[in-house]
């Protein structure tokens, strides 16, 4: 890949990283704010009905799942940036073939080519 293409992908990755980091911080702040209200004894926001408690638990689990996904994407972006630096960006981690630029334009932090990604998604998850 040409140097200017790598520079463009790095720029895209850095912008995406900034957006995701802001999202994660905002979601964590929101989750902490709700927990602080409960811990401080602010009863005005504490649900009284069991259905409200269930909804709150669901929302908290959902938010935690989103945070986890965003953090995983941040990790993948950091790895992609490191690969640009060491000259291995755009190579599939499994088969070591070049990942098509069209795929990298859509998913600039892609670790696998389409074929290896499909195999990975079809493989049963452990534990």
Compute CA distances 75 → 7, 29, 71, whole Å: 19, 20, 6
pLDDT at 13: 97
Q: Where are the domains of the chain?
A: 3-89
How many residues would you count in the chain?
Answer: 127
Q: Mind listing the pLDDT tens digit of every residue in the chain (127 residues)?
A: 899 999 999 999 999 999 999 988 888 877 766 654 554 455 555 556 667 667 777 777 887 888 889 999 999 999 999 999 999 999 999 999 999 999 999 999 999 999 999 999 998 776 5
pLDDT at 86: 95
CA distance 28 to 102: 33
């Amino acid at each position: 890949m040409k140097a200017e293409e790598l520079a463009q992908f790095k720029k895209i990755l850095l912008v995406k990283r900034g957006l995701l980091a802001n999202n994660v911080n905002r979601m964590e702040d929101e989750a902490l704010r709700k927990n602080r209200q409960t811990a401080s004894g602010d009863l005005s926001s504490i649900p009284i009905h069991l259905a409200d408690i269930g909804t709150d638990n669901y929302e908290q689990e959902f938010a935690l799942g989103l945070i986890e996904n965003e953090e995983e994407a941040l990790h993948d972006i950091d790895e992609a940036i490191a690969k640009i630096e060491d000259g291995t960006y755009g190579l599939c981690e499994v088969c070591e073939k070049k990942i098509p630029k069209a795929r990298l334009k859509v998913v600039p932090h892609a670790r696998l080519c389409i074929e290896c990604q499909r195999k990975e998604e079809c493989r049963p998850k452990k534990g």
